[in-house]
Chain A
């Protein structure tokens, strides 16, 4: 890994992080977390990533494993120094937060 790669600008890291999260799937719904609208905020400051996310319901059986999966996936990005994941329940997730493609996947259309 080159030094230049390790000093990747934060805005590039943000784009890579969104891409990476787009490949993390809810194993029950079969839709990625970004399209489900579960990622509320993603910030990068000097290689330190902070994600604010929710789940479809506070009683979600994946309340342990999904934040851990998010953390693991972001740590794989070269240049990321640390990852912090905050799981929040406010505002509550609503189905309308899903993208059109997620709605289609779940049979809305």
Chain B
């Protein structure tokens, strides 16, 4: 019988600061969509639209993913974060970079784009270095480990392209074509964010749904298909953007997306916790959005689009849909866990402490989900129909959903006495 000493989880402040900043980024993005509805419908290369996109990608999704990985890496993969202290310092570099980068885009201040872009790249590169140096300590080689490893490689490529474009925004060394920008976008979207989300989804679905006995052959095979599809797409965009190869590789990625949805469905069929929770429904909405984005991606690649707003619709389906629903849903697990660990774990075993689900207001979570889904559908329809009023209306509903989610997250910091009464009343549990 082998004995393994448990790993120490990082102090909650390390992932917590990234997650809190990500939450702020989410709220700002949600508010930005209705405010920029006319620009979003008109074009995808307006500086304000680019600023909103980078707010979502860097200020919300990447911040959240960094926080989630700092939290999950030691426990899910049983590895040691190389330097939590540097991770804390690096947060300030990244936060300052993003805080300057996004407004610089918004106001089209090119020196700011170059300066704060450099700071942002420095912060991201440090994170990648931190993770790669932590990998040799991994003991649990779950598929998530391979997905995240591939994602880190794509992240370096994405910021390499992005850094060059950010400097070029100011210095104007070369012309940046639409396919070149598309390569950068997909390195970040499908490479970094997509693979990270897929890997984390496998692990958290197993953990929280108590899924056992799911084979991993399809999971690994699809990792290869996705990476080959992405590599082919990026190379085609850069070297043969006028050929049909872009469509072919977009289709490969779409098929891979379908396989991922199928794989998660099969994984969920093995779950031992039968009841579907609000977190599951966020996962379903996320996966549905992934399929919508994949279909739009193939349509864009093959030139079957009705206008520039379809490009925005494609990005919105991926960012607010695929990533957005997944992040919100998984936050209903990750945030209460962090809070529980910080506030209650020291008392577990000695005195009554609440369950994780008792830290979240479930009615608020369902209300938020309904608003997010309705708002998302409205914005997407508005973009496809090029109707700014529909985008604005949907965006307002979506922002209300985001606000309810933020309220639920903020409740975690409340004194226990103010949390839901059911948390402890008449409860004899000790952990």
The docked-state distance in angstroms from the alpha carbon of A94 to that of B270 is 12
Tell me the chain A residues, 2-45 only, with Cβ under 8 Å from chain B: 23-30, 32
Which of B9, B428, B431 is within 8 Å of A69, CB to CB?
B431
| Known contacts A52-B1, A59-B140, A106-B210; A67/B355 CB under 8 A | no
Considering the complex, give the chain B residue whose CB is closest to the CB of A95: B272
B212 at the interface (CB under 8 A from A): yes
Cβ proximity bits B122-145 to A, threshold 8 Å, 1 near / 0 not: 000000000000000001101000
| Known contacts A27-B355, A58-B140, A59-B75; A95/B348 CB under 8 A | no
The docked-state distance in angstroms from the alpha carbon of A26 to that of B348 is 10
Inter-chain contact A73/B350, CB cutoff 8 Å: yes
Which of A25, A87, A89, A94 is within 8 Å of B212, CB to CB?
A94
B345 at the interface (CB under 8 A from A): yes
Residues of A within 8 A of B77 (CB): 59
Task: With both chains docked as a complex, state the minimum distance between the C-beta of B67 and any C-beta of chain A, in angstroms.
Answer: 14
Tell me the chain A residues, 40-91 only, with Cβ under 8 Å from chain B: 52, 56-61, 63-73, 76, 86-91
Which stretch of B147-155, B166-174, B201-209 is in the interface?
Answer: B201-209
Inter-chain contact A86/B3, CB cutoff 8 Å: yes
Inter-chain contact A87/B6, CB cutoff 8 Å: yes
| Known contacts A25-B429, A59-B75, A61-B9; A69/B349 CB under 8 A | yes
B2 at the interface (CB under 8 A from A): yes
Inter-chain contact B431/A26, CB cutoff 8 Å: yes
Residues of A within 8 A of B333 (CB): 28
The docked-state distance in angstroms from the alpha carbon of A94 to that of B4 is 18
Interface of A is mostly: loop
Task: With both chains docked as a complex, state the minimum distance between the C-beta of B87 and any C-beta of chain A, in angstroms.
Answer: 18
Inter-chain contact A87/B5, CB cutoff 8 Å: yes
B156 at the interface (CB under 8 A from A): no
Inter-chain contact A60/B349, CB cutoff 8 Å: no
Task: With both chains docked as a complex, state the minimum distance between the C-beta of B278 and any C-beta of chain A, in angstroms.
Answer: 15
Considering the complex, give the chain B residue whose CB is closest to the CB of A56: B210
Considering the complex, give the chain A residue whose CB is closest to the CB of B274: A107
Which of A52, A59, A72 is within 8 Å of B78, CB to CB?
A59
Interface centre among A28, A52, A88, A108 (most CB of B within 10 A): A28
Considering the complex, give the chain B residue whose CB is closest to the CB of A70: B349
Inter-chain contact B348/A72, CB cutoff 8 Å: yes
Inter-chain contact A24/B210, CB cutoff 8 Å: no
The docked-state distance in angstroms from the alpha carbon of A96 to that of B202 is 22
The docked-state distance in angstroms from the alpha carbon of A95 to that of B430 is 23
The docked-state distance in angstroms from the alpha carbon of A5 to that of B208 is 42
| Known contacts A61-B337, A69-B431; A76/B4 CB under 8 A | no
Inter-chain contact B75/A107, CB cutoff 8 Å: no
Task: With both chains docked as a complex, state the minimum distance between the C-beta of B347 and any C-beta of chain A, in angstroms.
Answer: 8
Inter-chain contact B429/A23, CB cutoff 8 Å: yes
Inter-chain contact B272/A68, CB cutoff 8 Å: no
B99 at the interface (CB under 8 A from A): no
B97 at the interface (CB under 8 A from A): no
B273 at the interface (CB under 8 A from A): yes
Interface centre among B206, B207, B354 (most CB of A within 10 A): B207
Considering the complex, give the chain B residue whose CB is closest to the CB of A61: B75
The docked-state distance in angstroms from the alpha carbon of A63 to that of B207 is 12
Task: With both chains docked as a complex, state the minimum distance between the C-beta of A101 and any C-beta of chain B, in angstroms.
Answer: 14
Inter-chain contact B349/A87, CB cutoff 8 Å: no
Task: With both chains docked as a complex, state the minimum distance between the C-beta of B294 and any C-beta of chain A, in angstroms.
Answer: 29
B385 at the interface (CB under 8 A from A): no
The docked-state distance in angstroms from the alpha carbon of A60 to that of B207 is 7
B340 at the interface (CB under 8 A from A): yes
Residues of B within 8 A of A61 (CB): 9, 72, 75-76, 207, 337, 341
Task: With both chains docked as a complex, state the minimum distance between the C-beta of B419 and any C-beta of chain A, in angstroms.
Answer: 14
The docked-state distance in angstroms from the alpha carbon of A27 to that of B342 is 13
Residues of A within 8 A of B349 (CB): 24, 68-73, 76
Task: With both chains docked as a complex, state the minimum distance between the C-beta of B259 and any C-beta of chain A, in angstroms.
Answer: 23
Interface centre among A23, A32, A65, A72 (most CB of B within 10 A): A65
Which of A23, A63, A73, A103 is within 8 Å of B75, CB to CB?
A63
Task: With both chains docked as a complex, state the minimum distance between the C-beta of A68 and any C-beta of chain B, in angstroms.
Answer: 7
B40 at the interface (CB under 8 A from A): no
Residues of A at under 8 Å CB distance from B?
23-30, 32, 52, 56-61, 63-73, 76, 86-91, 94-95, 103, 106-108
Residues of B at under 8 Å CB distance from A?
1-9, 72, 75-78, 139-140, 142, 203, 206-208, 210, 212, 272-275, 333, 337, 340-341, 344-345, 348-350, 353-357, 428-431
The contact sample of 22 A-B pairs, CB cut-off 8 A, is: A23-B428, A25-B429, A26-B431, A27-B355, A27-B431, A32-B429, A58-B78, A58-B139, A59-B76, A63-B7, A63-B75, A63-B78, A64-B75, A66-B348, A67-B6, A68-B345, A68-B349, A70-B349, A73-B350, A87-B5, A87-B6, A107-B275
Q: For the A-B complex with A63-B6, A72-B349, A95-B272 known, give 8 more contacts whose Cβ atoms are closer than 8 Å.
A: A24-B430, A25-B429, A64-B75, A66-B348, A73-B430, A87-B3, A88-B4, A106-B273
